[in-house]
Amino acid sequence: MADLEVTRGNAISANAQLGTNWLIAKDWNELFRYRNSTQNQAHALYNAVSDPTNGVLQWIKLYW
């Protein structure tokens, strides 16, 4: 919706960890709140979103 696909692709090409984090976080939706996940899955999602250097949220904030 924000037309950031090319920008995101360029950022992921330049930063492999951001790409890994994006792959972990991209399919999350509100229904996942009710899904049984392992502790490792929950930590992986949290870390992918909240990483202060390569996290998905940090990247999104650049265009907020």
Q: How far apart are CA 25 and CA 21, in angstroms?
A: 6
pLDDT, tens digit (0-9, with 9 covering 90-100), for 36-63: 889 999 999 999 999 999 999 999 999 8
Q: Return the pLDDT at 1.
A: 64
Q: Return the pLDDT at 33.
A: 86
Which residues lie closer than 8 Å to 22 by C-beta, 6 or more apart? 8, 12, 48, 56, 59
Q: What is the pTM of this model?
A: 0.84
Give me the torsion for CA of 46, 47, 49, 55, rounded to 10°: 170
Statement: residue 21 has pLDDT above 90: yes
